[in-house]
Amino acid sequence: MPPKPSHLPRPTDSELEILTVLWSRGPSTVRDVHETIVQSRPAQYTTVLKLLQIMAEKGLVRRDEKQRAHVYEASRPREETQRQLAGDLLQRAFGGSAKSLMMGALSARKASKKELAELKKFLEEYEGESR
Amino acid sequence: MNAIQLWMHTPAAAVVGWTLIHFLWQGAAIALLLAAAMAVLRDSRARYGAACAALAAMIAAPAITLALLWPSAAAVAVPLTRRFAINWFAVAADDAPLRLSAPWYAWIAPCWFVGALAVCAWRAAGWYAAHGLRTRGVCAISPQWQSRVAVLAGELRVTRPVRLLESCLAEVPVAIGWLRPVILLPVGLAAGLRAEQVEALLLHELAHIRRCDYLVNLLQTAIESVLFYHPAVWWVSNAIRAERENCCDDLVVRVHGDARAYAATLATLETARCRAPLPAVSANGGRLIDRVRRLTNPAQSGVSAAPVVTGLVALATIVAALVVWPSHRATAATPQDPAAPQRAAAAQPQPRAGKVRRPEAVPVLAQVGESTLTIPERYRKWLTQDVAYIISDVERSTFETLRSDSEREHFIEQFWERRDPTPGTPENEYKEEHYRRIAYTNQHFGAPSGLAGWKTDRGRIYITYGPPDQIEAHPNNVPPSQQWLYKFIEGIGQNVIIEFTGDDYRMTMDPSVAHNVFFSTGNGPRVIVEVQPDRSVVISVPLAQESSPYVLRGDVTTARGPIVSTFEDVAVGSGFKKTLGPLQPGDYDMQFATKNTRGERTSSHVTFTVR
């Protein structure tokens, strides 16, 4: 019986890569996962298969055996894993420092409630105009 | 400990201490000047330039102060150093701690040193963590988006190769790296948004890359770390970060067109993001609401006051220097403000984003279906003959949206430049080889029916994949046939054999048919149609995680009109997938409509081909 989601172990880096593929593509066969991974780095099909089997044992992924090719699916939503990883001591200490080195269209800080309300008001106006 | 105490008594420590003290008023003065400049400047690039110049002045000021104070220290340095050595031995010999009464300012240098070291270590760890994101928890994004990024990069004239990856750790789209830049999109973001929204985000990140913001940010971070104790430094640094985003916003609007649509995209993303319960992290960059206000309120960007400001800033600098100089000469020489020329340069009048804005909003992908009839003959020939086999779908649709010949010329130039294996040299080997292949096919593969060589199957394969590694010809068989062997074709595989038979050498099976993916246009969620090798058709609609239940309806018709298939379904949560049984070869159309529980409707449209 797989462990409860709340007590799932932290995924290793290679497991995290596979989870990313699964979150990105949705339920996938080993072949699908392997095809996506080799786009960015060389990887053996058997390595991916072995990793997925280990992850299924750990409970990180669910395996659907109804079809001929087994279909794997991440057992938790991305947000939960991200929260788990963000909870790391290291991440907490250096997150702020790292964030100021990354640049993006949305700032690392979320909008406050008041700002959100104004954004929503703007959106309503905008949609009203374009209709 | 004794070593530090002794070092505190050297003139060098005193000079460093005084330099740091002097920076208190110098930093404040520079920040005040910047605040005055910011009050008048409107153009984002001028504001950014002014803020950068202010930060440069902030690091130059202590350097100059140090240089000016040093000679007086050096004069007494020799005897002191000798005394230092003697004292050191004395301490070691009789083990009696020296009681040297240090003046208060002697403590400043060591305290600053320890603090700067700590901030540097914190920054270095942050840099390490940020770079980890480039490789940790990432996966390749669909080739369609990868090639779209290449096109957009071309539009923005980004010369470095940009990698686009999906990341499960990035919360928002980010660009990291200078020489080998990477754009990370949060997993599922591209699938959950409309194409033009993703494009707007990608353009913003590409704008960062084109402006070398990462490098400037690193330098800026280094200055912040050294002068960490002065709040003015942090204030200027944050001003740079905010203006940097504004500059990128302006660049996006210039390329993409509609400022309000772009602002709406940002606002939509932010409101969607705030629904996800994730821990909030420290503030950096401008507040989004300010950026949305700026984008949607052109009245704010009034007449450029750059020349006036240049004069004012220069005058203020001179006055400040004259007032401050005599009063401080007694304790330390004052550096002249080195920012004045730089700031003047930054404040030069620059073309404002608003003036070059395209008159109407043209979301690039929204115009895919538009006919190519409006394109002048010369360019239509380029599109449908010269590069028919090598241009990607996104490039084609981009080209079709271009309005003027100069835009088209520019596109064609960029098109070849992107493919040049040796950029920077006058020769473009790729382009030469391509036209050589076309000439070859016309010479050798012309069909008895009069079909031009490049239009034949053999011509198409030859132009697309180059000369085969081996040809096995049976011209005397009935019907005649040829088999071409390619040892490797990228994206298809190894030892690919392609067979042509008949008098006109028709291909028996297209090697690239295995990967046929089509995307929707329209205001609805992105619909992906994949044609499988067995001619069955997989229709999938990735939806954002939080989306409420949708009713989906699709009508598939042939290009001539009869309905082939109709389906209706309810999608909840992360997406929808449906397979239609094998279809006859031909062109198809699908109208796709959604309705959610709030009664909001969308519609989109896909054209696809089954071969």
Q: Point out the least confidently predicted range of A91-95, B27-31, B163-167, B281-285.
A: B281-285
Quote the ipTM score: 0.80
Torsion on CA atoms B457, B463, B468, B473, rounded to nearest 10: 30
DSSP code of residue A101: T
Of B472, B496, B511, the domain-final residue: B511
Residue B211 DSSP SS3: coil
Q: What is the mean pLDDT of residues B476-490?
A: 81
Residue for token digits 């309005």? B403
Neighbours of B258 (CB within 10 A): 20
Of B490, B511, B532, the domain-final residue: B511
Token output for B432 = 């030469």
Rounded Cα–Cα distance for residues B393 and B552 (Å): 26
Which CATH number characterizes residue B529's domain? 2.60.40.3080
- Which residues of chain B does A117 touch, with a Cβ-Cβ cutoff of 8 Å? none
Token output for B3 = 């070593």
Q: What is the pLDDT of residue B54?
A: 95
**Domain-embedded: residue B223:** no
Q: What is the pLDDT of residue B370?
A: 39
Per-residue pLDDT tens over the stretch B387-409: 888 888 778 888 888 888 888 88
Q: Which of A21, A101, A118 sits opposite B130 (nearest CB)?
A: A101
Q: Which of residues 50-89 of B touch A (CB under 8 A)?
A: none
Q: What is the pLDDT of residue B323?
A: 53
CA-CA-CA-CA torsion sign (B392, B397, B400, B403):
negative
In B35-157, the DSSP E strands lie at 138-140
Higher pLDDT, B589 or B61: B61
CA-CA-CA-CA torsion sign (A23, A24, A28, A33):
negative
Per residue in B112-150, is it b (16+ CB within 10 Å) or e — as a string? beeeeeebeebbeebbebbeebbebbbbbbbebbebbbb
Higher pLDDT, B13 or B248: B248
| Upstream peptide bond of B479 is cis (omega within 30 degrees of 0) | yes
Rounded Cα–Cα distance for residues B394 and B142 (Å): 13
**Does B542 lie in the same domain as B447?**
no
Rounded Cα–Cα distance for residues B355 and A86 (Å): 44
Q: What is the pLDDT of residue B48?
A: 93
**Domain-embedded: residue B288:** no
Higher pLDDT, B312 or B365: B312
Tally of residues, chain A: 131
Kindly tell me the burial class for residue B1, based on how many C-beta atoms sit within 10 Å of its own C-beta (0-12, 13-18, 19 or more): exposed
CA-CA-CA-CA torsion sign (A29, A31, A34, A38):
negative
**Does B87 lie in the same domain as B19?**
yes
Decide: B184 and A67 in contact? Cβ < 8 Å.
Answer: no
Decide: B485 and B465 in contact? Cβ < 8 Å.
Answer: no
Please judge whether A77 and B136 are an interchain contact, meaning their C-beta atoms are less than 8 angstroms apart. Answer: no
B174-176 β-sheet, strand order: B138-140, B163-167, B182-186, B174-176
**Does B27 lie in the same domain as B125?**
yes
Please judge whether B167 and A81 are an interchain contact, meaning their C-beta atoms are less than 8 angstroms apart. Answer: no
Q: What is the pLDDT of residue B57?
A: 94
Parallel, antiparallel or unpaired: strands B550-558 and B563-571: antiparallel
Decide: A119 and B289 in contact? Cβ < 8 Å.
Answer: yes
**Does B545 lie in the same domain as B455?**
no
Check pLDDT > 70 for residue B580.
Answer: yes
Amino acid found at B16: V
Q: Which of B128, B133, B281 sits opposite A96 (nearest CB)?
A: B281
User: How far is residue A77 from each of residues A28, B7, B252, B328, measured CA to CA in Å?
Assistant: 15, 57, 32, 63
Phi, psi at B131, each rounded to 5° = -70, -30
Phi/psi class of residue B547: alpha, beta or left (left: φ > 0; alpha: ψ in -120 to 50)? beta
Q: What is the mean pLDDT of residues B483-489?
A: 82
Decide: B604 and B584 in contact? Cβ < 8 Å.
Answer: no
Decide: B210 and B157 in contact? Cβ < 8 Å.
Answer: yes
Please judge whether A79 and B277 are an interchain contact, meaning their C-beta atoms are less than 8 angstroms apart. Answer: yes
Residue for token digits 């009713």? B551
Check pLDDT > 90 for residue B59.
Answer: yes
| Percent of the residues in chain B that have a pLDDT greater than 70, as a whole number | 73
- Which residues of chain A does B244 touch, with a Cβ-Cβ cutoff of 8 Å? 103
Q: Which of A78, A94, A104 sits opposite B126 (nearest CB)?
A: A94
Q: What is the pLDDT of residue B357?
A: 34
Interface check B286 vs A, CB under 8 A? yes
**Does B59 lie in the same domain as B88?**
yes
Check pLDDT > 60 for residue B66.
Answer: yes
Q: What is the pLDDT of residue B30?
A: 93
**Does B503 lie in the same domain as B524?**
no
- Which residues of chain A does B187 touch, with a Cβ-Cβ cutoff of 8 Å? 20, 23-24, 78
Check pLDDT > 60 for residue B604.
Answer: yes
Task: Calculate the CA B323 to chain-centre distance.
Answer: 45
Distance between B186 CA and the closest CA of chain A, angstroms: 9
Check pLDDT > 90 for residue B560.
Answer: no
Q: What is the pLDDT of residue B85?
A: 39
Token output for B280 = 């909030």
Check pLDDT > 90 for residue B35.
Answer: yes
Domains, chain A, ordered by start: 5-78 (1.10.10.10)
Contacts with B591 (C-beta within 8 Å, 6 or more apart), sequence order: B554, B555, B557, B603, B605
**Does B526 lie in the same domain as B507?**
no
Residue A76 DSSP SS3: coil
Q: What is the pLDDT of residue B511?
A: 55
Q: What is the pLDDT of residue B2?
A: 61
Q: Which of A36, A86, A119 sits opposite B289 (nearest CB)?
A: A119
Per-residue pLDDT tens over the stretch A11-39: 888 888 999 999 888 889 998 899 888 88
| Percent of the residues in chain A that have a pLDDT greater than 70, as a whole number | 80
Check pLDDT > 70 for residue A68.
Answer: yes
**Domain-embedded: residue B323:** yes
Distance between B175 CA and the closest CA of chain A, angstroms: 5
When pLDDT is cut at 50, 70 and 90, the band that residue B73 belongs to is: low
Read off the pTM: 0.54
Contacts with B317 (C-beta within 8 Å, 6 or more apart), sequence order: B33, B337, B339, B340, B343
In B559-600, the DSSP E strands lie at 563-571, 575-580, 586-596
- Which residues of chain A does B282 touch, with a Cβ-Cβ cutoff of 8 Å? 95-96, 99-100, 108-109
When pLDDT is cut at 50, 70 and 90, the band that residue B540 belongs to is: confident
Amino acid found at B278: L
Phi, psi at B23, each rounded to 5° = -65, -20
Higher pLDDT, A8 or B304: A8
Rounded Cα–Cα distance for residues B220 and B179 (Å): 18
Q: What is the pLDDT of residue B561?
A: 75
**Does B489 lie in the same domain as B526?**
no
- Which residues of chain A does B130 touch, with a Cβ-Cβ cutoff of 8 Å? 98-99, 101-102
Q: What is the pLDDT of residue B350?
A: 37
Task: Calculate the CA B16 to chain-centre distance.
Answer: 41
- Which residues of chain A does B169 touch, with a Cβ-Cβ cutoff of 8 Å? 16, 82, 85
Q: What is the pLDDT of residue B322?
A: 54
**Domain-embedded: residue B450:** yes
**Domain-embedded: residue B527:** yes
Q: What is the pLDDT of residue B316?
A: 57
Q: What is the pLDDT of residue B37?
A: 92
Q: What is the pLDDT of residue B236?
A: 93
Decide: B90 and B62 in contact? Cβ < 8 Å.
Answer: no
**Does B111 lie in the same domain as B44?**
yes
Per-residue pLDDT tens over the stretch B399-452: 888 888 888 888 898 888 888 888 878 888 888 899 999 889 888 888 777 778
- Which residues of chain A does B263 touch, with a Cβ-Cβ cutoff of 8 Å? 122, 126
Kindly tell me the burial class for residue B180, based on how many C-beta atoms sit within 10 Å of its own C-beta (0-12, 13-18, 19 or more): exposed
Interface check B221 vs A, CB under 8 A? yes
**Does B540 lie in the same domain as B449?**
no
Q: What is the pLDDT of residue A89?
A: 55
Rounded Cα–Cα distance for residues B185 and B174 (Å): 7
Of B465, B492, B511, the domain-final residue: B511
Per-residue pLDDT tens over the stretch B169-188: 887 888 888 888 999 888 87
Q: What is the pLDDT of residue B227?
A: 92
Task: Calculate the CA B139 to chain-centre distance.
Answer: 18
Task: Calculate the CA B271 to chain-centre distance.
Answer: 22
Tell me the CB-side half-sphere exposure of residue B420, using CA atoms within 13 A.
17
DSSP code of residue A89: H
Token output for B508 = 């028996």
Distance between B9 CA and the closest CA of chain A, angstroms: 35
Q: Which of A23, A102, A115 sits opposite B188 (nearest CB)?
A: A23
Rounded Cα–Cα distance for residues A44 and A61 (Å): 20
**Domain-embedded: residue B423:** no
Check pLDDT > 60 for residue B27.
Answer: yes
Check pLDDT > 90 for residue B55.
Answer: yes
Find, in chain A, the residue whose alpha carbon is nearest to that of B576. Answer: A26
**Domain-embedded: residue B566:** yes
Please judge whether B201 and A39 are an interchain contact, meaning their C-beta atoms are less than 8 angstroms apart. Answer: no
Higher pLDDT, B520 or B244: B244
Supply the Cα-derived Rg of chain A in whole angstroms: 19
**Does B527 lie in the same domain as B455?**
no
Mean pLDDT of chain B: 75
Phi, psi at B219, each rounded to 5° = -60, -45
B443-448 own/partner pairs: CB under 8 Å, 24+ apart:
B445/B505, B447/B503, B447/B504, B447/B505, B448/B503, B448/B504
Q: Please count the structural domains in chain B.
A: 3
State which residues form the domain around B468: 440-511
Decide: B152 and B202 in contact? Cβ < 8 Å.
Answer: yes
**Domain-embedded: residue B88:** yes
User: How far is residue B500 from each of residues B464, B482, B491, B507, measured CA to CA in Å?
Assistant: 16, 5, 21, 4
**Does B543 lie in the same domain as B475?**
no
Please judge whether A98 and B126 are an interchain contact, meaning their C-beta atoms are less than 8 angstroms apart. Answer: yes
Q: What is the DSSP string of A111-126?
A: PPHHHHHHHHHHHHHH
Please judge whether A105 and B140 are an interchain contact, meaning their C-beta atoms are less than 8 angstroms apart. Answer: no
Q: Point out the least confidently predicted range of B138-147, B190-199, B260-269, B518-527.
A: B518-527
Of the candidates B158, B376, B382, B186, the residue with the CA atom closest to the CA atom of residue B255: B158
When pLDDT is cut at 50, 70 and 90, the band that residue B284 belongs to is: very low
